[in-house]
């Protein structure tokens, strides 16, 4: 078995109702602490790949092993728990809970995962302190912390989503086009923050984007169409 943080093997994934697979991957691996940039045009399957890594979707064939655990061996409820325990997700639309304060949004994973709660408490005297420390390091000032998520700018919401993904030090952070709503300077600044925080936490980072300008700072760059056999089979 691979000791990679993420190891996908011989994957075929077809969305319900589709005639052809979206993804056919022989091998996709990310090592512990590695920071990987995954690019591909719209519709190439980047979000689908992240859904497989998170166990949100399951492939019809092949294996997805996260930290050595084969997700297909777990029943759905255990997969959900495993995801919250070990993976921090930053979604394209951030998925913050609009009626909760910023602080409550950030501590949310610790409400669902005893492991994340334990690790967060090891970082701060209580969950609030741990959340505040992350918010500070992501340049979110105390005047914002008690506001509802909807009262923040897009750039601020994005950093809240990053703090929520990072709290309780998950071993893996995945980010799905988190910078698409930002201008170029802010994209770079956000990328620096998230990369720094993952480094500090010792987390692997899978950062998905169609924007090649963000690629250069990563340990490794993967063009999804180069490894996806379905994409290669399409006519040019
Ligand atoms: N829930 C779904 N049901 C059926 N097909 C889907 C579903 N989600 C995605 N697809 C299809 O799978 C393919 C890949 O979609 P996906 O969202 O993974 O691409 P993407 O590379 O993330 O695109 P984007 O950059 O636009 O976000 C597309 O053809 C899309 O229509």
What would the pLDDT profile of 124-152 be if each residue is shown by its tens digit?
Answer: 789 999 999 999 988 899 999 999 988 99
pLDDT per residue as tens digits for the range 93-106: 778 999 999 999 99
Residue 89: per-residue pLDDT: 94
pLDDT category of residue 189 using cuts at 50, 70 and 90: confident
Is 22 touching ligand 1 by the criterion CB < 6 Å? Answer: yes
Token pair of 115 as six digits? 């492991």
- 205: pLDDT strictly greater than 80: yes
Question: From the CB of 210, is ligand 1 less than 6 Å away?
Answer: yes
- The residues, ordered by sequence, that sit 6+ positions from 177 with a Cβ below 8 Å of its Cβ are 46, 92, 208, 209, 210
Atom of ligand 1 nearest to the CA of 224: 21
**Residue 139 CA: distances (Å) to CA of 13, 73, 105, 155:** 39, 40, 16, 11
User: To test the ligand 1 pocket, which listed residue (16, 17, 22, 54) has its Cβ within 8 A of the most ligand atoms?
Assistant: 22
- pLDDT grade for 181, boundaries at 50, 70 and 90: confident
- In residues, how long is the chain? 236
Write down the mean pLDDT value for the chain.
Answer: 91
Give the CA distances from residue 224 to residues 46, 64, 93, 154, in Å, rounded to whole numbers and listed in that order.
Answer: 7, 17, 21, 27
Of 80, 71, 162, nearest in space to 113 by CA: 80
Task: Give the pLDDT band (50/70/90) at residue 58.
Answer: very high
- What band does 202 get if pLDDT is binned at 50, 70 and 90? very high
Instruction: Give me the interface pTM, i.e. the ipTM.
Output: 0.97
For residue 57, what pLDDT band results from cuts at 50, 70 and 90?
A: very high
Q: For residue 14, is pLDDT > 90?
A: yes
For a mutational test of ligand 1's pocket, the pick from 17, 25, 47, i.e. the residue with the most ligand atoms closer than 8 A to its C-beta, is 47
pLDDT score recorded for residue 235? 52
Is it the case that residue 73 has pLDDT exceeding 60?
Answer: yes
> What is the rounded CA–CA span in Å between residue 159 and residue 137?
10
Q: Give the SS3 label for residue 51.
A: helix
Nearest-10 Cα torsion for 214, 218, 223, 227: -160
Q: Which H or E element spans position 221?
A: strand 220-223
Angle at the Cα of 192 (from 189 to 198), degrees rounded to 5? Answer: 140
Res 187: pLDDT: 82
pLDDT surpasses 80 at 2: no
């Amino acid at each position: 078995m691979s000791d990679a943080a993420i190891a996908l093997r011989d994957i075929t994934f077809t969305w319900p109702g589709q005639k052809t697979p979206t993804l056919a991957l022989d091998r996709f691996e990310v090592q512990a602490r590695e920071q990987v940039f995954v690019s591909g045009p719209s519709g190439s399957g980047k979000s689908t790949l992240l859904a497989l890594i998170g166990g949100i979707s399951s492939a019809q064939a092949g294996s997805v092993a996260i930290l050595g655990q084969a997700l297909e061996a777990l029943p759905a409820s255990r997969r959900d728990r495993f995801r919250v325990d070990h993976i921090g997700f930053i979604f394209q639309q951030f998925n913050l809970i609009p009626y909760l304060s910023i602080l409550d949004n950030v501590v949310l994973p610790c409400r669902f995962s005893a492991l994340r709660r334990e690790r967060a408490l090891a970082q701060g005297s209580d969950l609030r302190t741990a959340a505040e420390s992350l918010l500070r390091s992501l340049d979110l000032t105390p005047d914002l912390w008690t506001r509802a998520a909807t009262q923040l700018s897009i750039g601020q919401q994005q950093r809240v989503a990053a703090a929520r993904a990072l709290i309780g030090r998950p071993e893996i952070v995945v980010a799905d086009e988190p910078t698409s709503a930002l201008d170029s300077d802010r994209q770079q600044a956000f990328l620096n923050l998230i990369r720094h925080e993952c480094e500090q936490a010792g987390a692997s980072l899978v950062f998905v984007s169609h924007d090649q300008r963000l690629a250069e700072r990563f340990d490794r760059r993967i063009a999804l169409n180069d490894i996806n056999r379905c994409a290669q089979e399409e006519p040019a």
